[in-house]
Structures are given as C-alpha cells and as structure tokens.
Amino acid sequence: MSGGRADRWVHPLAPGERRLFIAVPLGDAARLAVAHLMAGLGAPPEGGRDPDPNAPPSARLRWVRSTNLHLTLRFLGATPAGAIPALEAAIDRTARAAAPFEARLSGAGAFPSPARPRAVFLRVDAGAARLAALADRLTAELAAGGWPPGGRPFEAHLTLARSDGVPGAPAAVQALAEAAVLLVLKKTIDSYYKEEDDDTDEPSEK
C-alpha cells in the first residue's frame, strides 16, 4: 500500500498475521435502514466515494460498505494465527457472561469533531452504557490472555464513513445530522464476532 494518511500507522502484516477487530453485527432491519440513509446522502451501493468532483460533499465521503456495518467493541490490529484460539475463547467467555440487551441508534456525529471530521458516525444512545460495560469485560478477558489494554476509552458508535481530505466535510456531517434526525433504530445485542479489518483507518476514529 502506498500514499495517504493510513500509511503513517499501518505496518505490513507478518506471515500468518491477520488484522482483526471484535464487533457486534447490525441486524438486517437496522442495516437496511442505515443503508437507505447512506444512499440518500450519495453513498455508492458498494461503499467508497463518488469520484465526481462536482458531487455534494456527503457523496465524496469514503462510505463503509453497508454489508460491513457493525458496532466495534475492540480493534486488535495485527494478530498472529496462533493467538486466535485464545481470542475466540475470550470472546466466548464474554458472550456467555452477558445477557442480551437492547441498544438504540439515534442522531449523528463525527470524530474528532464535526468541524474537523475524520470519521462520521451514528450515535448509540440507549444501551451505550451496557455496550461500554461489555467492551470493558472483553478487554479484561483479553488482558487475561496477554493482550494489552485498548488505546482509547470506549465510545459506542456506528461508523458510516471517513472524511479525511474531503472539501466541505463539515457540510457533509451536517447533512448526515439532518438526515438522521428522525432515525431511531433498535438492535438487540446478543451476538459478537471477530472479523478481518479491510479498512485501514479503523484506529483513527478519534
């Protein structure tokens, strides 16, 4: 990979390593509703950005593919194959200790701020504290297996797009905020998964 801000932190994977994160999947109904919201703002069906320089700022964000929408609990980065069984065991212990609960998506925002957005997201309001507690328990289980603690405080959110270098990105954040005013989606948190990261901007959300 060459060029771009992501090169400043992404290191090549060693043989047998995978860049992983642990997340809560979005249910079908919520995913379709969010995909509809994204399409209304110009997101291409398969993610990415509209290459037309005359497209509105929201269409020129780098949108997440709708099939990949998730609530990240922990970004792990480069993970050797030999560590995966312990990782799966930590996820299983976390899941077995947690009762299902409901989380709700409502409203929008940006990291690090709407005026200087790098990542654009939907907020989690109801259920955010339960998600944070779940992330903390997962971190404790991972620490018991030798993983270092996470690099930043957990903040529940659903990332929709990256906005680095997009002219008018604050206007795109405002467009999302306006479109999301009436969006209220509920999701029962009852499953978790590990996934390979194909978006090298994941650690730069904040």
101-112 confidence digits (pLDDT tens): 888 888 899 999
158 inside domain: yes
CA distances from 37 to 61, 66, 173 (A): 14, 10, 13
The model's pLDDT over 105-134, given as tens digits with 9 standing for 90+, comes to 888 999 999 999 999 999 998 899 999 999
User: Is 11 a residue of the active site?
Assistant: no
Reported as a pLDDT band with limits 50, 70 and 90, residue 200 is: very low
129 inside domain: yes
Active-site residue, from 19, 31, 118, 157? 157
Separation CA 25–CA 77 (nearest Å): 19
2 inside domain: no
What's the chain's length in residues? Answer: 206
40 inside domain: yes
In total, how many domains does the chain have? 1
Active-site residue, from 62, 70, 74, 194? 70
Cα angle at 52 between 47 and 159, to 5 degrees? 30
153 inside domain: yes
Long-range contacts made by residues 49-54, C-beta under 8 angstroms, separation at least 24? 49/166
Reported as a pLDDT band with limits 50, 70 and 90, residue 25 is: confident
11 inside domain: no
The CATH number given to whatever domain includes residue 145 is 3.90.1140.10
User: Is 36 a residue of the active site?
Assistant: no
Domain housing 56 = 17-197
97 inside domain: yes
